[in-house]
Amino acid sequence: MKKTTNKVVLIGAGAVGTSFLYSAMNQGIAQEFGIIDINKEGAIGNELDLEDSFSTIDPSINNVKAGGYELVSDADVLVITAGRPQKPGETRIDMVKDNAIIMKNIALEVVKNGFKGVTIIASNPVDIMTSVYQEVTGYEATKVISSGTSLDTARLLIELSKRLNIEPKSIQAYVLGEHGDSSVSTFAHAKIGGVDAQSFFEAAGIDEAKQAEIHEVVWKKAYEIINRKRATFYGIGASLANITRAILNDQNTIIAVGAKLTGQYGLEGIYFGTPCVINSKGIAKILEYPVSDNEKKALDDSSMAIKAAVKTALEAIN
């Protein structure tokens, strides 16, 4: 029988996962949703709570169901947010070993239950966990996507928007590399409305020192949120919904996700935040955003941090 509805399954129904579900459902991204969580009672509770919203949001949504890994067999998109959360004062890299073991077990169950769609991973440290999942599953790299620097890029655009008094969607700039402390905010080739942003920066007094200050605000924002309210979830939930929508609607949208590089930036074989064309196939094209010499050096440093963490993760699961 021909499949007539889109189905999205979430693994890990914590604050990030449920924020994603609520965002996706309110946007009418899919008709069916599945919830898998180690806390089965909590997953059922989320099913019951979320179904109460059907009458006030998109009427095309007809099903949300908590269950086991059998839910992935006919899913189009799988979103994984499972893992232990980041603690105050802890970097994402500190979580590598614990979450690598969790991710390996998830990957084995996903394969066993016949999933054939596109996977998006947001479990931290995200590019390392995506590497683990892709390694264990053996799935095509283009169909395994890290949420990468999608959230970081949103934070950069918001911060620039505040200082330039320009709406974020009119600014073209990206955060590249690790979703974490070694991320790289790009300014040298930024554009506003398609025009070189440097004149806008000069008018607003955003020199190199100010750019460094903006980048610090961007990469430290997660720590500020965690210190104030213990976790970040709305922003990443919205970012995951955006990526999912691009896949299900076959949009060919350019989003800064984590992709397994094939020579971009002189790097290969690691998941790394960079703009990509996203459609129903997953990552249709990896783009290499132009960077300055200083930005390239910072990206090389970021790649070394990722490579070291991937080595630690793979050692933990073998």
For the stretch 144-179, pLDDT in tens is 999 999 999 999 999 999 999 999 999 999 999 999
Q: Using 50, 70 and 90 to split pLDDT, how confident is the model at 80?
A: very high
pLDDT digits (tens, 9 = 90+) for 103-121: 999 999 999 999 999 999 9
When mean pLDDT is compared across 22-31, 254-263, 295-304, the lowest value belongs to 22-31
For residue 179, indicate whether it is catalytic. yes
Beta-strand relationship, 63-66 and 282-286: unpaired
The arithmetic mean of pLDDT across residues 114-138, rounded, is 97
The arithmetic mean of pLDDT across residues 52-77, rounded, is 87
pLDDT (0 to 100) of residue 1: 46
d(CA 18, CA 240): 11
pLDDT digits (tens, 9 = 90+) for 180-219: 899 999 999 999 999 999 999 999 999 999 999 999 999 9
What pTM, to 2 d.p., does this model score? 0.95
The arithmetic mean of pLDDT across residues 133-145, rounded, is 98
Give the closest residue to 83 by CA, choosing from 177, 14, 141.
Answer: 14
156 and 214 in contact (C-beta within 8 Å)?
yes
| pLDDT tops 70 at residue 122 | yes
Give the closest residue to 110 by CA, choosing from 42, 44, 36.
Answer: 36
The arithmetic mean of pLDDT across residues 44-52, rounded, is 93
Long-range contacts of 287-296 (CB under 8 A, 24+ apart): 287/254, 288/264, 289/174, 289/176, 289/186, 289/189, 290/188, 290/189, 291/176, 291/184, 291/186, 291/188, 291/189, 291/265, 292/188, 292/189, 294/188, 295/176, 295/184, 295/186, 295/187, 295/188, 296/265
Mean per-residue pLDDT over the chain, rounded:
94
Beta-strand relationship, 282-286 and 268-279: antiparallel
Catalytic residue among 92, 143, 155, 179: 179
